[in-house]
Amino acid sequence: MFMSNKLALFGGKPLVKDHKRLRLDWPIVDKSDYGAIKKAFDDRDFSGRGSKRISDLEYIFSKYYDGLYATALNSGTAALHLALISLGIKPGDEVIVPALTFVATAMSVIHNNSIPVFADIDRKNFNILPSSIEKNISKRTKAVIVVHLHGAPADMDPIIKICRKYKLKLIEDVAQAPGATYKGRKIGTFGDAAIFSLMSQKNLATCGECGILLNKSKNDKNRAEMARIYGEIVKSNTERIYNSYTLGWNYTLNPIQAAMAISQLKKFNKITNEIQYRARKLNNALNKFGWILPPVESEGTESVFHFYRFQLNSNYFDYKCVGRFRQAVQDALNAEGLNVRHYQKIPLAGQPFFQKNDINKELPWSLNSNSYIYNINDYPNTLEVINSTLILGAISSAPGYLLCPGTIEKYLLGFEKIDKNIHKLLSYADGIKYSEPWEEMKVISDSFGAKYGVFSSGG
Ligand SMILES: Cc1ncc(COP(=O)(O)O)c(C=O)c1O
């Protein structure tokens, strides 16, 4: 069939009429999921306090992860908080986290009244940079949280070496990377603790919210298990005696979500293989365009492509402003009905919560005499990655797009079309009203902050 080469952005016919058809609903569910949920409902297994379904999920997860100790929780964020608690990280301790991740990684540190210290990232795989971890270590540093962002494993050997040298606890945030491997070993088995999120958009997903904490030591797991439910010891088939031994929260998982998680785990390896096959096919096809750098699988690693984040390489045409080029490609693809989005436009440290001076005076910062003033210019690689990358899809994570029949082929047609019109698109890029993404975010923050009154006490 004849396809016009004129970009829709310049008046041509869009390649896709209905973007929604490029995506499968996620997670993929079948009769076995409905059956598992119905059974939990029919059993009236509504409370996770002592539920056998919860301990079954922990048992299965633990088996999948080489016998490490699993604690099922009601979110990945709760798992991060309890990872810190279980490893004895205290208020005022510093915890090194990457400057580019989902906010929960750093906010959970504050939940523990500990202090996040941000490290820069690697420009290629977008994960925490070992040399930046070392640069940020102080005498208060007690732990590092390494995030395997978008499903791509971080460089574990040097990170483990640094943690051993400085006697730091290592926590892996595997929310986006279950199934990924580093030198043949599963991501999540390297740290003193690892956390997973099974919320409904993750590669391994349930019908709602769910988190899992893995601990290397049984004592650490015991501490986490008590902190999950008010510091008590609550076991299935054992009478609850209502006696709190430690500080605890209510991070109990709902058994219906545990039932779905168990059912999804049975299909997880097969689905992960398909995701990897489709993502690598797209990677190979995109490699022919020198102006796109598809998501990297560093040597010896296997990614699970939770987000398909690709980088634009404007140096290929000697075009100086990568941000303008990124914006032009985004406009061109979106006009074709092939939506892509610019995800997280500012390093975490630049978000208002971490910047507000009135909050910075309160806990946990007031515990130390140091003042923690975060400056986004301390993370040049993070800024560059933010400026030069786009995420495939209008909403949600990559698997629903990658596994939808015909989708990657459609996106490829879009990239071909851009390639044929590249000089026209570069002229378009020159004319865009442009500011750096983090400057744009600052304007948004200021206007929302004023509207919601969150900056009323100064800051
Ligand atoms: C990297 C990362 N860490 C932590 C979380 C928090 O997980 P949850 O949403 O289950 O609390 C998420 C996702 O939401 C995440 O992407």
Cβ of 127 less than 6 Å from ligand 1: no
pLDDT digits over 275-308, tens only?
A: 999 999 999 999 999 999 999 999 999 999 999 9
Is 77 a pocket residue for ligand 1 (Cβ < 6 Å)? yes
Note the pLDDT tens digit of each residue in 326-376: 999 999 999 999 999 999 999 999 998 888 666 667 788 888 877 788 999
Global pTM reads 0.97
Q: Which residue is it, tokens 């080029």?
A: 325
Q: How far apart are CA 189 and CA 344, in angstroms?
A: 28
DSSP-derived secondary structure for 361-401: TSTTGGGSSS-----GGG-HHHHHHHHHEEEESSSS-SHHH
Show the beta-strand stretches assigned E in 204-357: 211-215, 292-293, 301-302, 309-312, 340-341
pLDDT, tens only, 109-145: 999 999 999 999 999 999 999 999 999 999 999 999 9
Q: How big is the CA angle at 370 (ends 369 and 375), to the nearest 5 degrees?
A: 155
Token digits for 138?
């102080």
pLDDT tens digit sequence for 426-457: 999 999 999 999 998 888 887 777 677 665 44
The alpha carbon torsion through 69, 398, 183, 61 (nearest 10 deg) reads 20
Domains along the chain with CATH numbers: 8-25+268-452 (3.90.1150.10), 31-265 (3.40.640.10)
pLDDT at site 459 = 39
**CB of 75 sitting under 6 A from ligand 1:** yes
How close is the Cα of 102 to the center of ligand 1, in Å?
6
Kindly report the protein residue whose alpha carbon is nearest to atom 12 of ligand 1: 175
Closest CA to 350 of 375, 371, 370, 380: 375
Q: Is 204 in the pocket of ligand 1 (CB under 6 A)?
A: no
Q: Which two tokens stand for residue 162?
A: 């640094």
Q: State how far the alpha carbon of 169 is from the alpha carbons of 209, 362, 399, in Å.
A: 27, 26, 32
Q: How far is CA 363 from the centre of its chain?
A: 26
